[in-house]
Structure 1
Amino acid sequence: MPSADQVTGHAPETAILLDHVNQASDGRALADMASRMGRLMLKLQERKTGAAEIALAVSRVGRAVTDRLLALAERDLGPPPVAYAFIVAGSQARGEQIAGSDQDNGLILSNDYREDHHGSYFEQLADQVCSGLAEAGYRRCPGDIMAINPRWRRPLADWRGRFAQWIERADPDALLKVSIFFDLRCIRGEAGLLDQLREEVLGMTRSSTLFQPRLAAAALGFRPALGWFGRLRFHRDGDKQTMDLKRHGITPVVDLARVHALALGEAALSTRKRLKLATSANLISGDDADRLIDAFDHVGGIRIAHQCRRIRDGEHPDYQLRADEIDQRDRKALKRSLATIRDAQQAMARRYHAEAFR
Structure 2
Amino acid sequence: MPSGFNFSASPFDCLTPDEQRLVQDNVDIAYFPQGDTVLAPGAQPTHLFVIIKGFVQQFDGNEVVTTYGPEDCFDGRGLMAGKSSSRFVAAEEVVAYQLAKQAVSELIADNVTFGALLFSDLSNKLSALSARQSRHELQSLTMARVDEAFVRTPHFVDADTSILDVVKEFHALRTATVLVRDRQLSPPALGIFTLTGLQRAILDGTPLDQLKVRELANFSLIKVRPKDQLGDALALMIRHKVHRVVVADGDNITGVLEALDLFSFLSNHSYLINIQIQDAQDVPSLKLAAGQITRLIALLYRSGTHINMIARLVQELNAKLFERAWQVVAPAELVANSCLFVMGSEGRGEQLLKTDQDNGLVLRDGYVPTVDVAQVCQQFSAALADFGYPPCPGNIMVSNPAWCQSADDFSQAVRFWLMAASQDGLMSLAIFLDARAVCGDRALLEQVRTAVYDMTTDNDAMLARFAAAINAFGSSSAWWAHLPFLGDPGKDALDIKKNGTFPLVHGVRSLALAHRIRATSTVERVNALVEAGRLPQKLAHDLIDSLHFFMGLKLKTGLQRLETGQAASDEIHLDKLSSLDRDLLKDTLGVVKQFKALLNQRFHLEAV
Does 2:577 match 1:323?
no
User: Secondary structure of the equivalent of 2:342?
Assistant: strand
- 1:100-179 matches, cutoff 5 A: 100-114=354-368, 118=369, 120-172=371-423, 174-176=425-427, 178-179=429-430
Q: How many angstroms apart in 1 are the aligned matches of 2:393 and 2:421? A: 23
Aligned to 1:301: 552
Match of 2:334 among 52, 75, 80: 80
Aligned partners of 2:484 and 2:492 also within 8 Å = no
Aligned to 1:47: 303
Aligned to 2:257: none
Does 2:280 match 1:27?
no
More helix by share: 1
User: Secondary structure of the equivalent of 1:284?
Assistant: coil
Q: How many angstroms apart in 2 are the aligned matches of 1:195 and 1:237? A: 49
More strand by share: 2
Aligned to 1:64: 320
Amino acid at match of 1:304: L
Deviation at 1:317, TM superposition (A): 2.2
Q: How many angstroms apart in 2 are the aligned matches of 1:272 and 1:238? A: 36
Bigger RCO of structures 1 and 2 (CA < 8 A, at least 6 apart) = 1
Amino acid at match of 2:358: D
Deviation at 1:315, TM superposition (A): 2.9
CA RMSD of aligned residues (A): 2.8
Does 2:523 match 1:272?
yes
Aligned partners of 2:414 and 2:429 also within 8 Å = no
Amino acid at match of 1:107: L
User: Secondary structure of the equivalent of 1:204?
Assistant: coil
Does 2:279 match 1:17?
no
Amino acid at match of 1:53: M
Amino acid at match of 2:289: M
Aligned to 1:193: 444
Residue 272 and residue 319 in structure 1: after superposition, are their counterparts in 2 closer, same or farther (change >3 A)?
same
Residue 195 and residue 119 in structure 1: after superposition, are their counterparts in 2 closer, same or farther (change >3 A)?
same
Residue 101 and residue 7 in structure 1: after superposition, are their counterparts in 2 closer, same or farther (change >3 A)?
farther
Deviation at 1:203, TM superposition (A): 2.3
Aligned partners of 2:496 and 2:554 also within 8 Å = yes
**Which whole-Å deviations, capped at 9, do the CAs of 1:38-60 have from their partners, x for residues lacking one?**
21111111121112122222222
Does 2:344 match 1:90?
yes
- 1:234-273 matches, cutoff 5 A: 241-273=492-524
Aligned residues: 352
Aligned partners of 2:314 and 2:352 also within 8 Å = yes
Q: How many angstroms apart in 2 are the aligned matches of 1:145 and 1:224? A: 28
Q: How many angstroms apart in 1 are the aligned matches of 2:521 and 2:279? A: 28
Aligned to 2:58: none
Q: How many angstroms apart in 2 are the aligned matches of 1:190 and 1:352? A: 36
- 1:285-300 matches, cutoff 5 A: 285-300=536-551
Q: How many angstroms apart in 2 are the aligned matches of 1:211 and 1:136? A: 38
Gaps of 5+ in 1: none
Amino acid at match of 1:287: K
Q: How many angstroms apart in 1 are the aligned matches of 2:293 and 2:487? A: 30
Deviation at 1:211, TM superposition (A): 2.2
- TM-score normalised by length of structure 2: 0.54
**Which whole-Å deviations, capped at 9, do the CAs of 1:277-325 have from their partners, x for residues lacking one?**
1112222100111111111111221111111212333332222211222
Aligned partners of 2:480 and 2:589 also within 8 Å = no
Deviation at 1:187, TM superposition (A): 1.2
Does 2:580 match 1:354?
no
User: Secondary structure of the equivalent of 1:243?
Assistant: strand
Residue 119 and residue 243 in structure 1: after superposition, are their counterparts in 2 closer, same or farther (change >3 A)?
farther
**Which whole-Å deviations, capped at 9, do the CAs of 1:23-70 have from their partners, x for residues lacking one?**
112111111211122211111111211121222222222211111111
Q: How many angstroms apart in 2 are the aligned matches of 1:325 and 1:229? A: 16
User: Secondary structure of the equivalent of 1:92?
Assistant: helix
- Structure of larger gyration radius: 2
- TM-score normalised by length of structure 1: 0.89
Larger CA deviation: 231-240 vs 167-176? 231-240
